[in-house]
Amino acid sequence: MDIKKAQSPMTRMLLMSIGAAVLGSLQIGYHTGNVNAPAKIIQEFFNVTWRSRHNKFLQDDSLTILWSLSVSIKDFGALLGSLGVKGLADTFGRRDSILIANSLSVLGACLMIISKATESFEVLIAGRLVFGLFCGLVMSLNPLYIQEVSPTELRGAFATLNQVSFASGIFLGMVVGLDTVLGTEKYWALMFSLSLIPALLQFLALPFCPESPRYLLINCGKEEQAEAALCRLRRSTYKVQNELMEIKEEACHAQSRVTIGEFFVKHSYKQPIFIVLIVNLGSQLSGFNAIINYSTKMFSRSGFEKPKYLTLGVGAVNVTFTVVAFFLVERAGRRKLLLIGFLSLAICNLLMTITDTLMHTAPALCSLQVLLVFTLISAYEVGPGPISWFIGAELFDQPARPIAMAFTSMLNFGGKFLLALLFPPLLKVCGAYVYLLFMIVALLGLSYTFLRLPETKGRTFDEIAAEFRGTEGIPLHNQSGFNTFT
């Protein structure tokens, strides 16, 4: 066998590029997990600030609304940030766009840090809004950059690292937010500053990483620079030439540009758009986010004395199974993991309904509820969680890929925002039966994945795009040459 062909696809520069990119999702996870434990302390800061201005405390309802706004405005900012993905990615490139977005993270964190010194909760809310803009950009740009610099055989695994970093950030935020660490009246503002460390590391490392070769060749027509970037990423002359040929083939089939209007009306994009829509909404509205946001309240209602430590368990399980997904995604494939994940989510939600209904008559079921929560988290992270974030980049060609990732980000953050807004009133109205709604959504994701999603494992971008170009109303599983169910 040719030694060059047998050379490992993982190089130092490739690992450095991906590691530098996922520092952004680590920051997002951190600011997702760090506000839950010190919530009462920060709300008290809101109250004291209001009293110093108006000589009276906020009413409980007003304080609840103001705190809900403070927490959820990050996801609203992410929705707005998603709108800028295509403009940034196509104008400045994938790598430089991540660096530009990183400046929003620094600005947002600084505003959150100084909010206590300025005695202004408005500054804290503004900081979370600015940080939300960063979230919407980076959770689209990261998978885009990672998939375009990764070799085909490791594309899914490396894209999953974005979710591993995000989940690790959530767990880190949960730990740092404890009242035994920095989640105290004295140090809560300092707690917000820790995200500046990975932000600074990204500013130091990412400029030394290559730009996406696909962007350089297909978007900019710079073949020599694309080849130079590939040489840094692969080091194998054989692999560089082989991949360069594959990118040129994709360039021959791709339009020079695709507008947002064309994206939603072009026939070959309709099937991938529906797949991205169902997979992402199925992922976000199948119960995971309700548990991440409200697990402490759930465990308190079940009678546990120290629910915050069970919530830490949720964070630990979350990280563990994203790592499991990293090792499985290139072996089992995207389709199989999604099917297993959605089916498991549906079963867990059904059992959650039963246990929550019987909890008052059989208190011993509280232990089973904890097990179900952990199982639901693991089911989400093995399949729907990480795959929903990058599947859009695999189903579309180069000109449409930034729009697809912006669409993915809007669906994900829109689903998070919707669930954060509606879960408390739904729980009040429906009680335990709210989990049946999550079960229905999970079954919808399962059904559509089974019927329409092709397996993308081991296939080049051009091979996947070619199948959708050729569908013309024919179901994918009837297409010759495309083994959907492997």
Other beta carbons within 10 angstroms of residue 383's beta carbon come to 31
The single-letter DSSP state of residue 460 is: -
456 and 345, same domain (yes or no): yes
385 and 246, same domain (yes or no): no
Out of 62-66, 130-134, 218-222, 370-374, pick the least confident.
62-66
Cβ neighbours of residue 245 under 8 Å, at least 6 residues apart? none
Task: Name the domain boundary from 253, 274, 308.
Answer: 253
120 and 33, same domain (yes or no): yes
260 and 183, same domain (yes or no): no
Asked if residue 25 lies in contact with residue 386, where contact means CB atoms within 8 angstroms, the answer is: no
Total residue length of the chain: 486
264 and 325, same domain (yes or no): yes
Cβ neighbours of residue 342 under 8 Å, at least 6 residues apart? 282, 286, 383, 384, 442, 443, 445, 446, 449
239 and 261, same domain (yes or no): no
Q: What six digits make up the tokens of 402?
A: 């930034």
Compute the chain's Rg from CA coordinates: 23
Q: Can you state the angle between helices 434-452 and 267-284, rounded to 10 degrees?
A: 150
Cβ neighbours of residue 183 under 8 Å, at least 6 residues apart? 34, 37, 38, 41, 176, 177, 191
**What is the torsion angle, in degrees rounded to the nearest 10, for the CA atoms of residue 344, residue 348, residue 349 and residue 353?**
160
Half-sphere exposure of 242 (CA within 13 A, CB side): 12
CA dist., res. 401 & res. 167, Å (int): 25
More confident call, 250 vs 117: 117
Task: Give 144-195 pLDDT, tens digit per residue.
Answer: 999 999 999 999 999 999 999 999 999 999 999 998 999 999 999 999 999 9
Task: Give 63-103 pLDDT, tens digit per residue.
Answer: 888 888 888 899 889 999 999 999 999 999 999 999 999 99
Task: Specify burial of residue 178 (Cβ count, 10 A radius: 0-12, 13-18, 19+).
Answer: middle
Q: Can you state the angle between helices 85-92 and 94-114, rounded to 10 degrees?
A: 130
Categorize the per-residue pLDDT at 470 as very low, low, confident or very high, splitting at 50, 70 and 90.
low
- In which domain, by residue range, is 445 found? 256-486
Out of 73-77, 105-109, 327-331, pick the least confident.
73-77
Average pLDDT score over residue span 268-291: 92
Q: Is the dihedral of CA 222, 224, 225, 229 positive or negative?
A: positive
Other beta carbons within 10 angstroms of residue 360's beta carbon come to 8
- For residue 356, CA distances in Å to 87, 294, 298, 427 come to 47, 15, 10, 11
CA dist., res. 214 & res. 230, Å (int): 9
> pTM of the prediction?
0.90
DSSP, residue by residue, 192-212: GGGGHHHHHHHHHHGGGSPPP
30 and 58, same domain (yes or no): yes
> In terms of Cα–Cα distance, which of 454, 450, 443, 448 is closest to 481?
454
Q: How many domains, the chain? A: 3
131 and 260, same domain (yes or no): no
According to DSSP H, which parts of 3-120 are helical?
Answer: 3-6, 12-21, 23-33, 39-54, 60-82, 85-92, 94-114
- For residue 102, CA distances in Å to 131, 189, 443 come to 9, 20, 37
We report the CATH number of the domain holding residue 98 as 1.20.1250.20
292 and 434, same domain (yes or no): yes
265 and 223, same domain (yes or no): no
193 and 49, same domain (yes or no): yes
CA dist., res. 484 & res. 481, Å (int): 9
260 and 160, same domain (yes or no): no
> In terms of Cα–Cα distance, which of 315, 329, 149 is closest to 232?
149
**What is the torsion angle, in degrees rounded to the nearest 10, for the CA atoms of residue 145, residue 79, residue 315 and residue 127?**
100
Task: Give 23-66 pLDDT, tens digit per residue.
Answer: 999 999 999 989 878 888 999 999 999 999 988 888 888 888 88
Task: Name the domain boundary from 224, 253, 282.
Answer: 253
Return the pLDDT at 478. 39
Q: Which residue has the tokens 């959150």?
A: 112
Return the pLDDT at 236. 86
Task: Give 4-30 pLDDT, tens digit per residue.
Answer: 445 678 899 999 999 999 999 999 999
